[in-house]
Each structure stands twice: as structure tokens, then as C-alpha cells.
Amino acid sequence: MRMENGLKSNFGKYAVPKALQVLAEIDQGLQAKGGNLDEGLSFYLVHEENFRYFNTPCDVVVFGNTGADGIHYGLLTDFGTAATLDEAPVVCVSPMSFDRPVRIVAENLEHFLSLNMNDSGLFYNHFRSEEDYARFLGEQDDDSPYRPSEEEEERAEHIRQQVRDRLHLPQIDHPYRYVRELQAKRDRDA
């Protein structure tokens, strides 16, 4: 019930996108077993209507947060001109990134989920080049103390598979290029 009330007030005139409805159902099932969506997707669904920071654009419908540094994700309505939220671009708001706190990260929610399942760090870290991004990914494979245990990785993959089974997400082969090109297109169109 809390989820429904928060979503209705947060989403205003827009219908909740199908993908978010599916994620909420998966999250409810996980919570009933003591888990949550964050274990597989690296973000929590936002249940409150007022999860905003001073630099969250007023035309963004917030749907998730990482639980760290105020970083959150939302659907950009372009001041109500988006026909539906299924078609709205996804932004990442990093309140602590004062120079550029808001970045477009995906063309729509399904693209966001596809990218997120491979590497959510692409959304809130800044890489000068695709080579820097590739180096970052390679460093994650080292014997880092922050690397998830085998059990945690199995649980994360189980959650990601639930999402894949319920949503038919596109394959995005070059995530870094995808995000850069999307940002460049938005900058040109602005």
C-alpha cells in the first residue's frame, strides 16, 4: 500500500511504467524473503514522494536511489511533454557532483535496466574515455575486498534473471558509447 500511494503522488499525471510495476512486484517478493531489489540491481525503488535534492530537476519523476551520496534515478518528463514515462529518458542525479549533477544515462527505462545489469557504475562515475572505462571494469575483477562473495553474486544473478524473465530488455553492446552518444545528442538538441 505504501508503494502505491508514494508512486501515485510521485508520478502525477503519468501512469507508472510497466517495467517499474514489474520491479515493484519482484521487490515485494524479495522483501517477503528478507531481501531487496538492490541486491541484484544496485538501486532501491523509491517509495516516498519527496525523495529529491536541491539539484533534482523539477521535471524528473524519481524512481530509484543507490543508497549512497544521494545518488538517484528518475524519468525526465521534459516539463510534461513526454507522452508516457515508458518513453521518457532516464537521468542519474548525483547531488555531490556539483559541476554536473544531472546526466542522461538511458533513452528509456528498459535501456537503463539493461545497462544497469552490466554496470551501474557507468551512470555516476566520470570516465574520460572508453579506455578509462574498460580499465575501471578490469580493476573490478582483481582481488578487491569490495568484490561480492560467490553467494552474493549468485543471489544478484538470480534477481537479474527474474527481471530478464519478466521484461524483455534490449542488448546494448557498447555501454560507454551508448551513454556518451545519448548525452551528446541531448546536448545538441538543447
Q: What is the SS3 assignment for 102?
A: strand
Residue 171 confidence class, pLDDT cut points 50, 70, 90 = very high
Look at residue 159 in the predicted model and tell me its pLDDT: 94
Report the DSSP beta bridge partners of residue 74: 62, 91
47 or 126, greater pLDDT: 126
Cell numbers describing residue 38 = 538492490
Q: What is the SS3 assignment for 128?
A: coil
Confidence check: pLDDT of 1 > 50: no
d(CA 127, CA 43): 21
Q: Which of 3-17, 71-85, 129-143 shows the lowest mean pLDDT across its residues?
A: 3-17
The full set of domain ranges for the chain reads: 2-189
Tens digit of pLDDT for each residue in 63-82? 999 988 889 999 999 998 89
Do 186 and 89 touch, CB atoms closer than 8 A? yes
